[in-house]
Structure 1
Amino acid sequence: MRFVVLSGQSGAGLTSARMALEDLGYFSVDNLPPQLWSELLRTVEQQGIHKVVVVIDIRAGALLGEVEVVLLALRPFIIYLEAKTDVLLKRYNLSRRLHPLGMGNLLRDIEQERLALAPLRDRADLVIDTSERTPRQLKEALEAALGEEESFLLRLFSFGFKWGPPQDADLVLDVRALPNPHYDPRFKARPGTDPEVAAYVFSDKNQEPLYRSLLATIGLSAEAARQSGRAAYTVAIGCTGGQHRSVAVAERLAQELSSRFRVELEHRDLEKAMVL
């Protein structure tokens, strides 16, 4: 079990850090009372979850007094985020949010919070000053500290325009210009996963540049998404019914792109198309 406790000052990037750890596969819980951490770990392990992060900060109030005993018993990896006072003041002024302590004086709230969290900071395995870090740089620091790297996911799925366009794709591609097996009695009832059907779809060599351009577009777009810090990118490939051309193209794309990305492939409308 990999157990991480994430703590730090309000405004120092706790939300960004928690989301980054979730992208790395961590099950996260925000401000769970410390006396319940042991039960949490037992429960999630029974469900096959082996990476957990618990966030605890000044909102825990009096429960912070229980943390030290629990930390000694569970020995988690503790990450503490902080930032310079002037940076925190600027962030709060820009966001117009109230500090959790809400004592009416933001500077006093920040200093009181720093004192209250000092025991957690002293026990931290990693202290990160986020004053000059972007969310992406914070994510990279967490990856390096934990010895993990986010596994970017390229999602490819085929669909049929007759069943409605996708609503959740980052990029939608149309392959209806390719030869259509629907009009050949040998292939009409067979899916695009069939090697003979796929060969028919790609039989017109004049259309090969179209496929190569789709491959290049997806590769460039997915790489740009990965470099920007995204965890996943979704591409939808459509034909009329979602049985032949889009399926064959998605299968070929998945095979060729798998050397560059972790690829997940789905044929959204294949079963519906095969019933008709």
Structure 2
Amino acid sequence: NLPASLLGELIDTLDEGGYKRVAVVVDMRSGASIAALPAQVKRLRERVGDLRFIFLDARSETLIARFSETRRRHPMASEGVSLQEAIQSEREALEEISALGVRIDTSELHPNTLRNWIKDIIQASHADSLSLLFQSFGFKYGIPIDADLVFDVRCLPNPHYDPVLRPLTGRDQPVIDFLEKIPEVGSMAEDIRQFIARWLPAYQRDNRSYLTVAIGCTGGQHRSVYIAEWLARRFADQARVMVRHRTAARRVSDRAADAGGVFGGVVGK
């Protein structure tokens, strides 16, 4: 963890040493200097160009559980300040910072999945264009807090009730075949595509680096996965596109790690 106030000095030292790639972690232990981070990031982007900013977040109940399990003290906790109050204070202090780049809700993520998502972000080609992140999730696990747009597809027929399709995901061909036969599925997907296409230029004019579109069904395994993949293919020639599957990834993360794979990835340019 690097104090935010030393970020500029670190880059100067690395430049002198000829280093081209470096990862820096900054958190609330930087104290009051954390408030200067947005201005420092802006200056660094103007200076080095290719700078990726990743903000890791989690729901409050998840953070409370993690602090309880590790028995670590929150950096903003003190006598008379509860852990929940400290977390809320941290959220308020980091609100501006959370918008500097891509935000990842780690609440339900397997470590292997998080690692692969970060690799995708770092390895994606850098350009001035906005990156589209399509993310599937299950409403029963909560709405991801890193989403900019949320679409609910729970009204569509659910493959879960077919015993053959139940253990599969929306990326498996039998599930794809099942959903593609239903007119409402195609209509829903097309309506979402048109909405995003209509407003994407406005987000691009806002100089955003990332736009996260979350597609939710009940369990996050079939319908939302299928539509997220469908949308990613439709926008692949218009923007840098990435796909995440929050809930379904938990079911296959161990298998994907063993095979050296990732459930999700970069689709577009």
TM-score, normalising length from structure 1?
A: 0.48
Q: Which has the larger radius of gyration?
A: 1
Structure with greater strand share of residues: 1
